[in-house]
Structure 1
């Protein structure tokens, strides 16, 4: 795996070769999808016998101060002291930036009224300054997450989800979708059944049901998730 990781490690313990590999895998996953990998994904990628082996390495990385672990979530991994690498790679799950000389301002969308465009002026709570290098795919707005239906994807209530406007999605993408008069954040899945192909919006929390998109539903994609900002109560 060839990934350049820039971390202020002057005061941190040295990593083993395996720990460096896992840290690189985590940062690469965040760069490509905006979300850290699960323990199972780490184990599968690196050939571990079980997710428990990945968990042991993650705890070692956390003990050395390179990552923080959030209990109770399968993707609850945050890389600490992360900065963009010189080749323009970006790391997206982080605290709100401050003091950047190059910032853009993204509208923060709160509650969306039925039947109106998601970025309508009445839905904008405020504008947030964001370093434009944070999201390699670009972001058009931030959506305040409501509820815990995507908890196991590391997306929590109150988080700011960075969204790129698009009407297309790949299987497995996390999207913002409108069904009739409701806007929701879910994983986009195209499936085949006895009656033909259909869309399913998958929750990442077993306490919530998946949404089957009926043929007669007024369905539209509002955008694709390209990153996450933990708002720290701002």
Structure 2
């Protein structure tokens, strides 16, 4: 059984997701429910999560997904165009260096750009240095990563199996793929059944960062 405020917040989040695939910020939640502070929103969100009406998506800081609605107890209908990053419930915005398109054939360190991309801090999650890359192509569409999206990447030189990374192959070509270690080789897996995995000796592949967020603009 939900309280009146919990029910109002759940329906507000669900309505926003259905309308545009993006949930409201904590500030918008606060205003919609006429609360005095964001701490009240945090308590309501935590209560809804504990009761399994919503969940925060793993590795997507404060991204919210509605699991079910109280009227029926059934799963909520997914937004028409759901993206890997559903919501950023944080009002802080930072400027990330915006390098060229991923798979542009250059090491990240060699990319020089005075362009930046304004990004909600909540999309980054983990601390550390970050940069953005424009996605080119359709090799990751089954992971919800589309041509023209902006990949938000945390700089690192190691990653776990199954993570999406920016991998530099032969110090020449950067690509965005799932990282796997298989029989002494590095396997870079696409998320598109029309493409095949790429296999390399470990010394040919260098991890330059891992995907922590995705930004999509609708024109």
TM-score by length of 1: 0.59
8 Å CA contact retained: 1:109, 1:119: no
8 Å CA contact retained: 2:61, 2:122: no
Q: Equivalent residue for 2:149? A: 159
Q: Equivalent residue for 2:177? A: 186
1:211 pairs with one of 198, 201, 205: 198
TM-score by length of 2: 0.63
1:23 to partner: Cα distance: 3.3
Q: Work out whether 1:136 is the aligned partner of 2:142.
A: no
Q: Equivalent residue for 2:35? A: none
Q: Work out whether 1:103 is the aligned partner of 2:93.
A: yes
1:69 pairs with one of 56, 70, 80: 80
Q: Equivalent residue for 1:170? A: 160
Provide closer, same or farther for how the CA distance between residues 69 and 11 of structure 1 changes in structure 2, counting only shifts above 3 A.
closer
Distance in 2, Cα, partners of 1:77 & 1:58:
17
Q: Equivalent residue for 1:31? A: 60
1:9 pairs with one of 9, 12, 15: 12
Q: Work out whether 1:126 is the aligned partner of 2:115.
A: yes
Distance in 1, Cα, partners of 2:84 & 2:122:
21
1:221 to partner: Cα distance: 0.8
8 Å CA contact retained: 1:109, 1:141: yes
Q: CA RMSD in A?
A: 3.7
Provide closer, same or farther for how the CA distance between residues 10 and 129 of structure 1 changes in structure 2, counting only shifts above 3 A.
closer
Q: Work out whether 1:223 is the aligned partner of 2:209.
A: yes
Counterpart secondary structure, 2:52: helix
1:120 to partner: Cα distance: 3.4
1:159 to partner: Cα distance: 0.4
Distance in 1, Cα, partners of 2:199 & 2:123:
33
Structure 2, unaligned stretches of length 5 or more? 1-5, 17-47, 68-73
Provide closer, same or farther for how the CA distance between residues 77 and 185 of structure 1 changes in structure 2, counting only shifts above 3 A.
closer
8 Å CA contact retained: 1:69, 1:78: no
